[in-house]
Structure 1
Amino acid sequence: MEVKINREIRDYTESMFFGLSLRQFIFSVLAVGVAIGIYFGLRSFFGTETVSWMCVLGAFPFAALGFIKYHGMTAEQFLWAYIKSEFLMPKKLTFYPTNIYYEALKNVIANHEKEEWKRHD
């Protein structure tokens, strides 16, 4: 008998419905609901192919919210982090370059220049 264990314990998700986690299941149901709503709402105005593409495009964001993780963050955690970093607490980062070699040899260069001036005098 073999028991599968995730290599990283934090990656463990309990499957609730149809092998999906509760989060994935809820967002899948929302995606299907949006697709059905778009289909019945727009089928009298557009052709079948156009309505089917609209259903896919309308359902995609909800499906993505349930399944996609970015740097270990869920979609709403990522969205909150983005809003905080870009709008609520933006920082102006200024880059001041430093020449490490010049800083390390500054004394040697100054002594060398003094010696050159003494030789020319």
Structure 2
Amino acid sequence: MEIRINKEIKDYHESLFFGLSFRQFACSVAAVGAAVGVYFGLRNIVGKEMVSWLCIICAAPIAAAGFFKYNGMNLEKFVIAYIKSEFFCSGNRIYKSENVLFNLYKEVLADDKNKQNKSKRRKKKNS
């Protein structure tokens, strides 16, 4: 008997129903419910072929939401991050380097230059 152990604890997901996590199972049930609802709601209005395509179109995004993972984010977190990065925080980003050490010693270097200039002036006056 083998027991599968994940190398990373964050990769562990408890499976509840049919090897699916609760989120995946709930989204699958919601997708089936949406497909059944669309079928019984529209079967008398449009033809069988059109209803079958509408069932697939309505159920697919709901089912995909349960299984979607991108960089450890589920669908809701991914959509929020995408909207933030593309619309709220978008714009031209200009890389501007900063020499921290130079900024710290700027005053010390300026004082040294002034002392050197003063000593050069004194030497010229004395010459």
Shared fold (TM-score, shorter chain, > 0.5): yes
**Tell me, what secondary structure is at the counterpart of 1:24?**
helix
Aligned to 1:27: 27
Q: Alpha-carbon deviations, 1:41-61, whole Å to 9, x = none?
A: 110111112111110110000
- Considering only aligned residues, what root-mean-square deviation do their CA atoms show, in Å? 1.7
Aligned to 2:16: 16
- Distance in 2 (CA, whole Å) between partners of 1:79 and 1:46 is 33
Q: What TM-score, normalized by structure 2, do the two folds share?
A: 0.69
Amino acid at match of 1:34: A
Aligned to 1:6: 6
Q: Alpha-carbon deviations, 1:8-52, whole Å to 9, x = none?
A: 321111011222101101111111111011101110111112111
Aligned to 1:55: 55
Q: Is 1:39 paired with 2:36?
A: no
Identity of aligned residues (%): 58
- Distance in 2 (CA, whole Å) between partners of 1:52 and 1:7 is 43
Moved more, 74-83 or 11-20: 11-20
User: What are the ranges of 5 or more consecutive residues in structure 2 without an aligned counterpart?
Assistant: 96-127
Amino acid at match of 1:7: K
Q: Is 1:72 paired with 2:75?
A: no
- Distance in 2 (CA, whole Å) between partners of 1:46 and 1:54 is 10
Choose 1 or 2 for highest CA Rg: 2
User: What are the ranges of 5 or more consecutive residues in structure 1 without an aligned counterpart?
Assistant: 96-121
Q: What TM-score, normalized by structure 1, do the two folds share?
A: 0.72
- What is the aligned residue count? 96
